[in-house]
Amino acid sequence: MKMRASHVVGKHHIVCEQVDRLDPVKGEVLVKSAWAAICGSDVHTVHSDIPLPGRIANPGTPGHEGIGYVEDSLVEGYAKGDLILTVPGYENRTGTFCDWQVIQPRYMVKVPKTDVSLPELLMAQQFGTTIYALRQLPYDVVGKTVMVMGQGSAGLFFAWSLKRAGAKTVIASDYNDARLAISKHFGVDVPVKPGQQAFQAVMDHTGGKGVDYLVEAVGNTEALGQSIGMIGIDGHGLYFGQPMTKDFVPFNFHDFQRRRMTINSHTETLREPHLLSFKYALDLIVRREIDVSPLLSHTFTMDEIEKAMDYATTYKENARKVCIKF
């Protein structure tokens, strides 16, 4: 049996191909894809200068945000028709950009009965990664000023979580007007453009001291270089954006050392036992404590994966979160 699946042919080039459908073996579940979403890390994988990982040859990669229905299960506890959030790890034999996924249960979250739409539920994957990152080195932001660099889906979720945790002022930057326009819905008080405008906003709202907490959710050299100068004395920086290069990135070590900063980074939420952060994110969406609908902008079919990736990369037509519907 054939299925459609993405194939990264080379840098800047992803296509949809017909491939043999993989069948589950012991310990795996076969999921019929319903929706998938393009993550910023998918864009980086296809377009960055970092060599493509070996796993990119697997059908459906680099996709890792998916939702679908169990078709066949060789794992106890999963039955045909169960709705599943899929977050495939490196050892999975498929990604989410394909008609059928074979996936291990440690990379699946059952979705409870709800009338929330499937694409909204799908946002729990990206949301969960930000929740996990914030939990690794907790920082008290109550009454404080924070900065979020980048207002893609991850940046918006960081802003929402920090505001919910008690931050007094959330400043956020992005080049894309459409993303800035919805940022207030996610808790941003001061939406600004990157560069000098962002730096000035930080200085204006902190009396020139710098923010107490900063999240870098972009990953480019310019943002990394500027971020240190916006963090105040005894402040903290969380570096979440996936780098676009393996080259050395310079930063102001003097400011870092003299201001007694603490910085950390976290990736691979999939290592978390029982995927608790994903489950919490899904619960918040199901209980409608967060409305993720403003994120969703463009929907394409699997046959249009090249076009979808282009929109997610260039933000064409004010694209925000780009999804694939099967």
- Taking only the tens place, the pLDDT of each residue in 310-326 is 999 999 999 999 999 99
Same domain, 122 and 8: yes
Angstrom distance (rounded) from CA 286 to CA 70:
20
State the CATH number of the domain containing residue 210: 3.40.50.720
Contact 112, 85 (CB under 8 A): no
User: For position 51, what pLDDT does the model report?
Assistant: 72
DSSP letter for 60, please: T
Residue 270 lies in a domain: no
CB burial string 136-160: b at 16+ within 10 A, e below: eeebebeebbbbbbbbbbbbbbbbb
Residue 295 lies in a domain: yes
- For residue 89, what are the domain limits? 2-126+276-325
Residue 99 lies in a domain: yes
Domain boundary among 242, 265, 288: 265
Residue 165 lies in a domain: yes
DSSP letter for 38, please: -
Angstrom distance (rounded) from CA 149 to CA 230:
11
Same domain, 217 and 171: yes
Same domain, 194 and 308: no
Give SS3 for 279. helix
Q: How far is CA 72 from CA 5, 80, 92, 231, in A?
A: 19, 6, 16, 51
Same domain, 15 and 73: yes
- Taking only the tens place, the pLDDT of each residue in 112-150 is 999 999 999 999 999 999 999 999 999 999 999 999 999
User: For position 220, what pLDDT does the model report?
Assistant: 86
Residue 132 lies in a domain: no
β-bridge partners, 18: 4
Axis-axis angle for helices 124-136, 153-164 (nearest 10): 50
User: For position 295, what pLDDT does the model report?
Assistant: 97
Same domain, 155 and 113: no
Residue 208 lies in a domain: yes
pLDDT < 50 positions in the chain: none
Same domain, 308 and 260: no
Same domain, 152 and 251: yes
Of the candidates 294, 317, 309, 308, the residue with the CA atom closest to the CA atom of residue 119:
294
User: For position 251, what pLDDT does the model report?
Assistant: 85
Same domain, 108 and 186: no
Of the candidates 201, 199, 188, 205, the residue with the CA atom closest to the CA atom of residue 228:
199
Angstrom distance (rounded) from CA 30 to CA 270:
19
- The sign of the torsion formed by the CA atoms of 29, 30, 36, 38 equals positive
Give SS3 for 251. coil
DSSP letter for 64, please: -
Which amino acid appears at position 294 of this protein? P
Contact 150, 223 (CB under 8 A): yes
Q: How far is CA 80 from CA 4, 90, 152, 195, 321, in A?
A: 21, 25, 34, 51, 29
Domain boundary among 215, 245, 265: 265
Of the candidates 278, 10, 305, 298, the residue with the CA atom closest to the CA atom of residue 132:
278
Query: What is the domain count for the chain?
Result: 2
Same domain, 297 and 245: no
User: For position 48, what pLDDT does the model report?
Assistant: 79
Same domain, 120 and 228: no
Q: What share of the chain is helix, strand, coil (3-state, %, to 5)?
A: 35, 25, 35
Residue 133 lies in a domain: no
Residue 183 lies in a domain: yes
Same domain, 41 and 19: yes
Same domain, 9 and 118: yes
Domain boundary among 236, 265, 294: 265
State the CATH number of the domain containing residue 18: 3.90.180.10
pTM score of the predicted model: 0.96
